[in-house]
Amino acid sequence: MTRHQRFRQKLQSPLLMHAMSAHNPLAARLAQDAGFDAIWGSGFELSASYAVPDASILSSSQHLDMMRAIAATVDTPVIADIDTGFGNAINVAYMVPQYEAAGVSAVVMEDKTFPKDTSLRADGRQELVRIAEFEGKIQAACAARRDPDFCIIARTEALIAGLGETEALTRARAYEAAGADAILIHSKQSTPDEILSFVAAWDGGVPLVLVPTAYPQLCEADIQALGKVGLVIYGNHAIRAAVGAMREVFARIRSDGGIHGVDASLPSVKDIIALQGDAAMRELERRYLK
Ligand code: SPV
Ligand code: MG
């Protein structure tokens, strides 16, 4: 079974799939080792790793190159966060085959205007495109894919933009009709109420996708019990874990005046060399360095 087939089958199965964010191949490898079903190629994380806002500042090629590097490193399916599709339906038609060729198994495209602002920013600029315009973008994405198992996930930001559940449902239904394989419904409320209400009202045939960053109390068992959600995405936990760990270690080295206090608690250099694929290189050495 191909990686794309595995992803599609799991997305459509009654079992909830989980995806962990990654901003580089090393983070993706750690997520794979931890047992996540998929890798979330997060635009937020990649932007943060360049220390720029998640506001269409990075180019499509920067994101695409990272997705290619991640997909080449792990066997786990990769879901690429293509933001707004980098323009209109024409841009989408040109971008989707490139993501597919990069080895990713799915793209998530959101119904905001380009350039976007990130969803969870307080008082962010959240403007949505017309429903018909986004339908065209979904249709362009579906028509552009070459492997029928490559998934197109449509994301509505109606709740993020404060437009309410009726608008969110209208959009989600329209996006399913336009060909989306799943609907990502995002919320930045600190309780899951808004999302739970949307899920209860969802009458479509395709699975929902949740990103519970703002309402972390909703755990996988609760989401699985809802029955309509196929995928939960942990959107920024790789970069937040990295930032927290680096801050702590850097501060300790400054306060200790050296690395003696942190050394024993850090992953060893041997561990990092193993993560770099040392076993594979040793095999190449054994075979070919004569
Ligand atoms: C991302 O991780 O880039 C996302 C999820 O799109 S969020 O940042 O919550 O919008
Ligand atoms: Mg994003």
- Considering the domain architecture, whether residues 163 and 249 belong to the same structural domain is answered as no
Distance 238 CA to ligand 1 centre (A): 12
Residue 272 structural domain: 243-288
What is the pLDDT, as a whole number, of residue 63?
Answer: 98
**Ligand 1 site-directed mutation target among 186, 209, 239, most atoms within 8 Å of CB:** 186
In this prediction, residue 290 carries a pLDDT of 93
pLDDT at 237: 98
Sign of the dihedral through C-alpha 237, 239, 243, 245: positive
Q: What is the dihedral of CA 190, 195, 196, 197, to 10 degrees?
A: 120
| CA of 147 relative to ligand 2 center, distance in Å | 24
253 close to ligand 1 (CB < 6 Angstrom) = no
Q: What is the pTM of this model?
A: 0.98
Distance 84 CA to ligand 2 centre (A): 9
Question: Looking at the 3D structure of the chain, how many domains does it have?
Answer: 2
Are residues 260 and 221 located together in one domain of the fold? no
Residue 228 has a pLDDT of 97
Q: Is 211 in the same domain as 233?
A: yes
Residue 56 belongs to a domain with what CATH number?
3.20.20.60
Q: Rounded to whole angstroms, what are the CA distances from 23 to 31, 69, 225, 242, 244? A: 11, 10, 30, 11, 15
Considering the domain architecture, whether residues 284 and 233 belong to the same structural domain is answered as: no
Q: What is the pLDDT of residue 149?
A: 98
Q: Looking at the annotation, which residues are catalytic?
A: 54
In a shared domain, residues 144 and 270: no
Residues 65 and 144 in one domain: yes
Closest ligand relative to 120 C-alpha = 1
Low-confidence ranges of the chain (pLDDT < 70): none
